[in-house]
């Protein structure tokens, strides 16, 4: 990975244009740790966006690239929402109110700010990030969907699974250093009913069972995501 000296940071924001030309239309500002743009959700402190981070937000707005705040710290998330002229995206997370020890999840304050800007939060299906129970599954995803819908309305809720076809828990066991500071505990071995993306239809079934209308389900499982894509990507 290219390591940048502080004096070389000036033109870095222009690299957003390079990423855009390569076809990238959505980008995380940080992962769990700190970078030159801001602080991730696993840092022991959260200083928010740097000057470079603000420049990158402005540049992403200019070219028409979605800003993803899924792994950002609280202040970094709030700074980016405030600085962005466009709605922003929390691609894969959930509500911290339902699992307060998980720093990867978003507070009510962050979710409200996102919604007020016209943004969308996708609910993930990552094992051990929506709950610390021994058995976890689709009911946990649906609980987070229900909570955010009640908090800010159905127009700001989507699905952002962020799971794959391998053993996600084994993956996290091998890479626990990248989860340091997030509060994650590997209690469950998998998500019942959402082991991999092929089980997506269970989400629709679950939303039906919880009383959502056809129109609301269409928004949650794709309509809201397509809406923010159409508004931001140019």
The pTM of the full predicted model, rounded to 2 decimals, is 0.91
Q: What is the pLDDT of residue 11?
A: 67
Domains recognised in the chain with CATH numbers: 1-86 (no CATH), 90-234 (3.20.20.140)
Helices 51-63 and 74-83, packing angle to 10 deg: 50
Q: What is the pLDDT of residue 10?
A: 52
Kindly list the strands in the beta sheet with 26-28, ordered across the sheet, starting from the edge strand earlier in the chain. Answer: 26-28, 66-68, 89-93, 120-123, 157-159
Q: What is the chain's pLDDT, residue by residue, as a tens digit (234 residues)?
A: 334 444 444 567 889 999 999 999 999 999 999 999 999 999 999 999 999 999 999 999 999 999 999 999 999 999 999 999 999 999 999 999 999 999 999 999 999 999 999 999 999 999 999 999 999 999 999 999 999 999 999 999 999 999 888 887 888 877 777 677 888 888 999 999 999 999 999 999 999 999 999 999 999 999 999 999 999 997
HSE-up of 174 (CA within 13 Å, CB side)? 5
Helix then strand then coil, % of the chain, to nearest 5: 45, 10, 40
CA pair distance 99, 71, nearest whole angstrom: 16
Name the pairing type of β-strands 120-123 and 66-68. unpaired
């Amino acid at each position: 990975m290219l390591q940048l000296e502080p004096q070389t940071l000036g033109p870095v924001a222009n690299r957003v244009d390079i990423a855009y030309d390569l076809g990238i239309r959505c980008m995380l500002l940080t992962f769990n740790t700190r970078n030159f743009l801001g602080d991730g959700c696993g840092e022991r402190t959260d200083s928010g966006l740097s000057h470079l981070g603000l420049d990158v937000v402005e540049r992403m707005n200019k070219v028409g690239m979605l800003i993803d705040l899924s792994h950002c710290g609280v202040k970094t998330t709030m700074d980016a929402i405030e600085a962005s002229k466009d709605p922003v995206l929390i691609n894969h997370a959930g509500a911290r109110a339902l699992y307060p020890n998980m720093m990867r999840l978003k507070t009510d304050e962050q979710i409200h700010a996102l919604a007020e800007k016209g943004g969308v939060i996708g609910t993930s299906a990552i094992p051990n990030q929506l709950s610390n129970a021994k058995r976890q599954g689709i009911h946990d995803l649906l609980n987070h969907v229900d909570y955010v819908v009640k908090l800010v309305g159905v127009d700001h809720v989507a699905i952002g699974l962020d799971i794959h076809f391998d053993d996600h828990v084994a993956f996290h066991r091998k890479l626990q250093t990248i989860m340091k500071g997030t509060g994650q505990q590997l209690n469950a071995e998998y998500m019942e009913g959402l082991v991999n993306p092929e089980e997506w239809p269970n989400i629709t079934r679950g939303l039906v069972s919880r009383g959502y209308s056809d129109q609301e389900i269409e928004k949650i499982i794709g309509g809201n995501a397509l809406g923010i894509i159409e508004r931001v990507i140019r």
